[in-house]
Every structure is written in C-alpha cells, then in structure tokens.
Chain A
Amino acid sequence: EVQLVESGGALEKTGGSLRLSCVASEFNFIDAWMTWVRQAPGKGLEWVGRVKSKIDGETEEYAAPVKGRFTISREDSKNTLYLQMNSLRTEDTAVYYCTTDDGRLWGQGTLVTVSS
C-alpha cells in the first residue's frame, strides 16, 4: 500500500527541539519532492516547507513563520523525510503532516505540543 507514516511528535517546552520523521512505502520516494504541512488545533492547513529530490538539487523552501528555525531533510536510502524543529514556540503546536509536493498523498499526522 502506498503510504506515508509520520512519527516523533511529542510534548516539548518552548525553546526546545524535536525531530519528526516520515517513512514512505510503495512509491518512488527518491524522485518525489516532499513537503510538511501543519494544522493547529481547530485551525486550517498551513504549508511548512518543501525539499526537492536529490536529482533536482535537494533544495529547500520554508514558510516565513518557520524559516531559520526548521530544517527539512531526506534520507533516500531509508525512504525517510525529516523535519528538524528548533527554538520551538507555543504557536508551533499542531498536527504535522508529511505530504508529496503536489498534495496528492498525505500521512496520518503526528502531534507536536509546545508548552511553556
């Protein structure tokens, strides 16, 4: 089955760090541009950032609220996407989804809670 499975969500204090992972199954992860999207409690969907495939340069783009604090990376040998989150703020509290860049495939999400 084609799927994305996120993990790593947790309760963390403001200023702390977390790393989320997303493992892809049964699709061509190596050639896929991958994205993180988040959803704060009771709110809409917010794009976090994207990493291109290695063959396309593996470059990243980020949304303004996370730029300089979050880093997206990938490990193609493990079909895994990462989101390193540093200097966490309470407003980063959300469910984080791993998706393909074209928005067609979504993981089930992992909850990050940031508390002071």
Chain B
Amino acid sequence: DIQMTQSPSTLSASIGDRVTITCRASQSIGFWLAWHQQKPGKAPKTLIYQASNLESGVPSRFSGSGSGTEFTLTITSLQPDDFATYYCQQVSGYPRTFGQGTKVESK
C-alpha cells in the first residue's frame, strides 16, 4: 500500500498568515493527488485535484504543487473560513490512501 504522511499534524495560525501543509508519498504517485478540506460534522470538500488543479468555486488563495512523492498545499492568506482539517489523498493506486490530516487552528 502507498503510505501518505502529512505534516504538521496540527498548525496554529492567524488570519492573514501564509500556511503550508506537506504530504509525502511512500512511492511515486505522479500528479495523482487530491487535497480535501473537512469541517466538524461535515463531509470532505475537494479543493485540489491532480496535485495543482483548483476545483471550481474554490478561492484562489488555495494552491497545490508537487509531483512524485512530495506535495504541498498552500493557503496564501488564511481566512476565518479556512480553519478546518485538511487531508491529502493519493489516487494513483489501490487501495486509495489518505494522509492522517492536518488541523489548522487559530493561534
């Protein structure tokens, strides 16, 4: 199975901060990575697909980059609505696997 490792597990930040979350795959997955945002009691919402493509309706302050085994989700200026847990997911092989999540909380 492809292991996905996210860092950090928790991130404390303030409104307006630049936030970066990293996801590493245990083997190369090309560009086959998605990023999801999840708020308490809600379903995950996809932000980024194929490593760097922004889903329709997602604010442009979100961006994704990377390929192979190392990927990054960046929020250029953190907004109040962005406090949530973020998951990476590889969609290269089976079983599909997720990172353990990064909780972005208010500093």
Contacts and interface: CB of A to CB of B under 8 A. Distances in A.
Interface in A33-90: 35, 37, 44-47, 50, 61, 63-64
Contacts of A35: 96
User: Is the contact region of chain A dominated by helix, strand, or loop, or is it mixed?
Assistant: loop
Contact of B98 (A46, A64, A105, A106): A46
Interface of B (DSSP majority class): loop
Interface string A82-116: 00000000000000010001111111110000000
Interface residues of B, number: 20
Contact of B96 (A64, A103, A107): A103
Contacts, number: 52
B87 A45 contact: yes
A109 B97 CA distance: 18
> Which one of A45, A47, A61, A101 has the highest number of Cβ atoms from chain B below 10 Å of its Cβ?
A45
Contact of B89 (A45, A50, A61, A108): A45
Contacts of A63: 95
Nearest to A99: B44
B46 A106 contact: yes
- How many of chain A's residues touch chain B, expressed as a range? 20 to 34
B98 A108 contact: no
Interface of B: 34, 36, 42-46, 49, 55, 87, 89, 91, 94-101
